[in-house]
Amino acid sequence: MEQRLAYSQSRESYSLRRQRQMLSIAEPTNYNPYNGGYTPTELLEELLICGYIRAMVTDHDVHKMDRDVIGLCTKWFVPYLKSAQFVFDSFGVDDASRMQIINARTVKCLGKPNSLGNPNANPIETYCAFFGGSVRLKCALPTKNNANGVRSVFWECVPTKLESWHNPCVSFGVVSNRTQSFVNACCGLRDAYGVSLYPGCLYKGNPQNHTAAAWVTDQASSFAGSSKISIEYVVASSKLKFYRDDETDPKYAMYLPTNVPGITHWYPYVSLMCKDDECTVRVVHIQG
State pLDDT tens for residues 140-191: 898 887 777 788 899 999 999 999 999 999 999 999 999 999 999 999 999 9
8 band by pLDDT with thresholds 50, 70 and 90 = very low
92 band by pLDDT with thresholds 50, 70 and 90 = confident
Q: Among 235, 241, 271, which Cα is nearest to 253's?
A: 241
Q: What is the mean pLDDT of residues 9-26?
A: 52
Q: What local confidence, expressed as pLDDT, does residue 150 receive?
A: 80
How do residues 128-142 score in pLDDT, each as one tens digit? 667 889 999 998 898
Which amino acid is located at 47 in the chain?
A: L
Torsion region of 188: left, alpha or beta (phi above 0 gives left; psi -120 to 50 gives alpha): left
Q: Domains of the chain (ranges plus CATH)?
A: 2-83 (no CATH), 88-287 (2.60.120.920)
Q: What local confidence, expressed as pLDDT, does residue 58 receive?
A: 59
CA atoms in the 13 A half-sphere facing the CB of 197: 23
How do residues 191-236 score in pLDDT, each as one tens digit? 999 999 999 999 999 999 998 899 999 998 889 888 999 999 999 9
Q: What local confidence, expressed as pLDDT, does residue 5 receive?
A: 45
